[in-house]
Structure 1
Amino acid sequence: MLQLQQIQQARDTITPTLSPTPLILDHVLSDRLGRRVWLKGELFQRTGSFKSRGALNWLRTASADELAGGLGAVSAGNHALGLAWAARAMGAAVTIVMPENASPFKVEGTRRLGAEVILHGDINDAWALMHRLVEERGLTLVHPYDDERIIAGQGTVGLEILDQAPEAGAILCPVGGGGLISGISVAVATRQPSLEVIGVEPEGAASMAHAWQHGAPTRLESVATCAKSLAAAVVGELTYPLCRTGVASLARVDEPAIRHAMQHLLYHAKLMTEPGAAVGIACLLDDVVALPPSGDIVVVITGGNLGREELQAFL
């Protein structure tokens, strides 16, 4: 199981390049709830999301053999951007398979960073193709969430929250494959176990809740949500037990709630986020989670990578 020391080492590894992201007070939600609601601004991180943390930690701890044949990954977009950015600095070739409905903004951004991008089917089809490419090309798979070095890098978000919000009672974190919330939960469990970590998933891609229900990672037959960054069909063999141990509860939000949250972030918090980053806000606006009785609330705003046409649907 991942240990706090690995997350601390990851922080030492990435800090010379990646600065901590800010906490921003959401005045409207704070007034509504009668307690401070802080937004952890991962949309301000390099490549526009938290994913650059794990990618950079992975690249900087990779062996020469791992890099020699090139890297491969499956991604809805943010892992692709983070990995392509981190790999470019080290001269490593990257091949990304993305589902055909991936954000054009993220596809183009990944290609500009020098990665080969292949659009193929849905997320399950994309994984099947990547496994074939690993065999055929000798690529090293860099899993978007089920890798200890990736999880440790994402866990640095948790260390920053602990330093920035000492009066926090709960952290609301979006859940896709579970890498971010796993890393945060390890950091929190060791340093401040009374702080509740709560996961939030879209109804149409509740893969962690599905795993909890079945007692193991179990693939969803299909995913359908505007929150494409959270559209993992199955959680990880590593992230499942970490979340089962360190996450207090899971909540789900529907598509109208996500759209409402996007509008709140745009018009009230003045943040242009992507839909997957808004699910924690949706959870608070729709009052679908049991919060601890006291303490500040920290909502992780995971990313802000969306194009003009995608944004238009939420205005």
Structure 2
Amino acid sequence: MITLETIQQARATIGDTLEVTPLITDLLLSERLGRRVRLKAESLQRTGSFKPRGGLNWIRTASRKELAKGLGAVSAGNHALGLAWAARAAGVSVTIVMPENASAFKVEGSRALGAEVILHGDINDAWALMHRLVEERGLTLVHPYDEPRIIAGQGTVGLEILEQAPEVSLLLCPIGGGGLISGIGTAVRALRPELQLIGVEPLGAASMAHAWAQGGPQRLDKVDTCAKSLAAAIVGKHTYPLCRQHVDDLIGVSETAIHDAMRHLMINAKLYVEPGAAVGVAALLQGNLELPADGDIVVVVTGGNMGWEELGEFLPLMVAG
């Protein structure tokens, strides 16, 4: 069970190590919308995303048996970085399987933190290999989003937002597998039930919208988006019901909208972001989102892990937009 109490306990568990990330006012977007827009800059967290929250909470609450033979995980990159960082401090080995198209920046960063990184196929292939490694090596699988201790750690973002932005009326959160929004949603519904919570997905990897339409988690045949950090092919058995319970609506954003949002965040808000972190702002820039009558808008900016080579690939797209 994920409750407000488990999220508060997670905050107590990780709070001595992870700092509260800043809430930055996006002045240009606020002027354009006539409402104050504030950006929760998780891109400034350790390892460059929100993921160490869940990773550190998992490590610090794990049993000796869970840690004994090492950990295994599948990740597009940010979970790998967050878990590898937390595991290194605890002296625990980690094996990560990433899709072959994973960010070189994240692969190199995870290896630098001591993780064994294996590149294998697409995200579905990566999962198949990890399940074999768990059986062969006796690894403990640390799921990137569908694990209660991970969800509770990510939910600490919600506690911080409610304290930093007491006048928030609309909260926009990216969705990959749904761990972050599940944790945030649990905190928000317990403390501010009237707050509107909207999840944002790339149209090419809308796994939560697919699950809502199908009445439960169903694997996408493929994912196709520049937002690799959100490219989960299926949502979780925990995250699906939590999102159905706590999330008011889902919005899909195009690749062009993501490029526009990246340009806006880098040039106007002065935040260096990866594509998946920009989808919340992309939803606002699309202009088809009905805003509440009053109150602040908060957008979670989930990460900034993108190498120079990747940025070089995106620059023509961002300029063209």
Give the structure-2-normalised TM-score. Answer: 0.97
Find out whether 1:109 has 2:101 as its counterpart.
no
Check if 1:179 corresponds to 2:179.
yes
Q: Compare 284-293 and 216-225 and name the one that shifted more.
A: 284-293
SS at match of 1:313: helix
1:106-164 Cα distance to aligned partner (Å, 9 max, x none): 00000000000000000000000000000000000000000000000000000000000
Give me the identity figure in percent.
72
> Hey, what does 1:10 align to over in structure 2?
10
Task: Using the TM superposition, give the Cα deviation of residue 292 of structure 1 relative to its aligned residue in structure 2, in angstroms.
Answer: 1.9
Q: Would the aligned equivalents of 1:251 and 1:288 in 2 still touch at CA under 8 Å?
A: no
Question: What are the within-5 Å matches in structure 2 for residues 17-166 of structure 1?
Answer: 17-166=17-166
Equivalent residue number for residue 272 of structure 2: 272
Report how far residue 311 of structure 1 moved.
1.0
SS in 2 for 1:232: coil
For 2:285, the equivalent position in structure 1 comes to: 285
CA deviations on 1:231-263 (whole Å, 9 max, x unpaired) are: 000000000000000001000001000000000
Q: Which runs of 5+ in 1 are unaligned?
A: none
Which amino acid in 1 is paired with 2:83? L
Provide the rounded CA distance (Å) in 2 between the counterparts of 1:197 and 1:149. 22
Displacement of 1:288 in angstroms is 3.0
**8 A Cα contact 1:262 1:314, kept in partner:** no
Instruction: Please state how far the C-alpha of 1:312 moved relative to its aligned partner.
Output: 1.6
The match for 2:306 is 306
Distance 2:23 2:2 in 1: 26
Structure 2: how far apart are the matches of 1:35 and 1:242? 29
Corresponding letter in the other structure for 1:3 = T
- The letter for the 1-side match of 2:286 is D
Counterpart code for 1:30: S
Task: Render the CA deviation track for 1:42-71: whole Å, top value 9, x for unaligned.
Answer: 000000000000000000000000000100
User: CA shift at 1:293, angstroms?
Assistant: 2.0
Matched letter for residue 41 of structure 2: G
1:263–1:314 contact (8 Å) kept in structure 2: no
Query: What is the CA–CA distance in structure 1 between the aligned matches of 2:261 and 2:44, rounded to whole Å?
Result: 19
Instruction: Give a deviation string over 1:273-293, Cα, whole Å, max 9, x none.
Output: 000000001000011322222
CA contact (8 A) 1:253 1:283 kept: yes
Root-mean-square deviation (CA, aligned residues, Å) is 0.6
Structure 2's unaligned 5+ residue stretches are: 316-321
Cα distance in 2 for residues equivalent to 1:313 and 1:194 = 41
Separation in 2, partners of 1:266, 1:61:
37
1: CA distance, partners of 2:270 / 2:22: 14
Amino acid paired to 1:304: G
Query: Given residue 132 of structure 1, which amino acid in structure 2 is its aligned partner?
Result: R
Match of 1:257 in 2: 257
Cα separation, 2, equivalents of 1:121 and 1:288: 36
The CA deviation at 1:264 is: 0.4
Q: Indicate if the aligned counterparts of 1:225 and 1:231 stay in contact, CA closer than 8 A.
A: yes
Structure 1 residue 313 displacement after superposition? 2.7
**What is the distance in 2 between the residues matched to 1:114 and 1:63?**
21
In 2, distance between residues paired with 1:180 and 1:67? 24
1:240 is the counterpart of 2:229? no
How far apart are the structure 2 equivalents of 1:294 and 1:195?
11
Distance in 1, Cα, partners of 2:123 & 2:310: 19
* 2: CA distance, partners of 1:152 / 1:246: 15
The one-letter code of the counterpart of 2:209 is A
